[in-house]
Amino acid sequence: MAFEFTDSNFSDTALGDNNVSVVDFWAEWCGPCRLVGPVIEDLSKEYEGRALVGKVNVDHNPETSMKYGVRSIPTILFIKDGEVVDKHVGTATKATLAQKLEAIL
């Protein structure tokens, strides 16, 4: 299951040194987010131990969403060593997101 990032755990989990994270900003009411959800779940299983793949519910975690300027969802951030190194806005295939993740691993 994909990790659940929150305002309170984001800094400790997603931004750690020597850490790669994929963060999907989503909301329950967002249709495109529901399309990306299963892709994020698959990636979290496939990359377990190599990258932390998870989701931030923008309705429940407004601080993190505002900090990263998330205005459209789904927005997927690729974070390495505490820095955003890539970003994808909108729906995406598993292959597209896996390719971006492989490039930063």
Strands of the sheet containing 20-26, edge to edge, are: 3-5, 52-57, 20-26, 75-80, 83-89
Q: Are 26 and 37 in contact (CB under 8 A)?
A: yes
What residue type is 55 in one-letter code? K
What residue type is 54 in one-letter code? G
Q: Which residues are identified as catalytic?
A: 30, 33
Q: 70 CB contacts (<8 Å, ≥6 apart)?
A: 25, 58
